[in-house]
Every structure is written in C-alpha cells, then in structure tokens.
Structure 1
Amino acid sequence: MFDKESYKIKKGMPEIEKVKTIMFGKEETDEYEMEIWIPIE
C-alpha cells in the first residue's frame, strides 16, 4: 500500500503499539483491539 500511494516509512522514528488497559488479558479474544502507529513521510 505504501508504494502505491508514494508513502515511505520514516527511518529513525519508532513504531508504536497502543493498547488500552482494559484489553490486557484479552489478547486471544475477538474483542481485543490495538492501534499500530507507523511514522511515514
């Protein structure tokens, strides 16, 4: 997807996984949610 839209992952910046505390312990369930933030340029 990034290549088709001319986006590139920005080097040297951290990728972030964000999980709400109410999701801890629910990793194997259908209600588990997380956000993944990827810096682009």
Structure 2
Amino acid sequence: MPNGAQGGLLHLKYRKGKIEKGVVGSLTLGVDPGATHDGTDL
C-alpha cells in the first residue's frame, strides 16, 4: 500500500456495482511519539 502524499491518506473500498452494500474506509495518520503539547497555542 502506498503511503501518505504518494497514495493519498484516505482509502475507500466497495464492490463494483454494489456500493449500496456499504463502503469500507481507512485513514492513514502520522504520529510523532516525541511531540508534546501543553494546550497554550489555542
């Protein structure tokens, strides 16, 4: 599966001709584990 800017962040899947049966979506997010936020920039 491609990543981020190359492949897009949102992927939707459904059966061709059967969209009324439902859509499955996945969203790719990046998280910086070293980042901190104290809420003062609001």
Shared fold, TM over 0.5 = no
TM-score normalised by L of structure 2: 0.35
Larger-gyration structure (1/2): 2
TM-score normalised by L of structure 1: 0.35
Structure with more of its chain in strand, by fraction: 2
Structure with more of its chain in helix, by fraction: 2
